[in-house]
């Protein structure tokens, strides 16, 4: 059975899911972008999910950061969010010409 869902309902569902499933997610925004598909010689409008994450708990007052060298902060979290959202909402982000993409912004201390 297929369900038809409006874009705004889909966006709000994704946002609620991310915020309730990942405590590190601070905010979620959605943006439309134009993407040129060179292989198809056409452009498409893509929905970009912008996710602000705080993997080190900075907003909760963690200023004693132990960052291991050589390991990118938040990599595993971003991978987990990408895979979970992609499969949960059947976004097919791994496919060429997908209508969806995700972008991460990571809070950190210099």
The pTM for the full model equals 0.84
pLDDT for 73? 72
Give, as one character, the DSSP assignment of residue 82: H
Residue-wise pLDDT tens digits, 39-78:
888 999 999 999 999 988 888 887 776 655 445 678 899 9
pLDDT for 104? 96
Percent of the chain with pLDDT over 70: 89
Q: What are phi and psi of 19, to 5 degrees?
A: -70, -30
Q: How far apart are CA 51 and CA 72, in angstroms?
A: 17
Burial 82-96 (b: 16+ CB within 10 A, else e): beebbeebebebeee
Helices (DSSP H) in 1-110: which residue ranges? 7-21, 75-88
Average pLDDT, the chain: 88
- The yes-or-no verdict on residue 85 having pLDDT over 70 is yes
Q: Which domains does the chain have, with CATH numbers?
A: 7-106 (3.30.300.30)
Q: How far apart are CA 47 and CA 101, in angstroms?
A: 6
pLDDT for 70? 44
């Amino acid at each position: 059975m297929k369900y038809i869902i409006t874009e705004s309902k889909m966006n709000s569902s994704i946002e609620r899911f991310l915020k309730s499933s990942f405590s590190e997610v601070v905010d979620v925004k959605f943006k439309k972008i134009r993407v040129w598909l060179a292989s198809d010689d056409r452009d498409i409008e893509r929905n970009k999910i912008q996710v602000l994450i705080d993997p080190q708990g900075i907003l909760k007052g963690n200023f004693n950061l132990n960052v291991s060298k050589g390991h990118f902060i938040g990599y595993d979290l971003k991978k987990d969010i990408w895979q979970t959202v992609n499969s949960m909402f059947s976004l097919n982000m791994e496919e060429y010409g997908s209508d969806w993409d995700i972008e991460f912004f990571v809070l950190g201390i210099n």
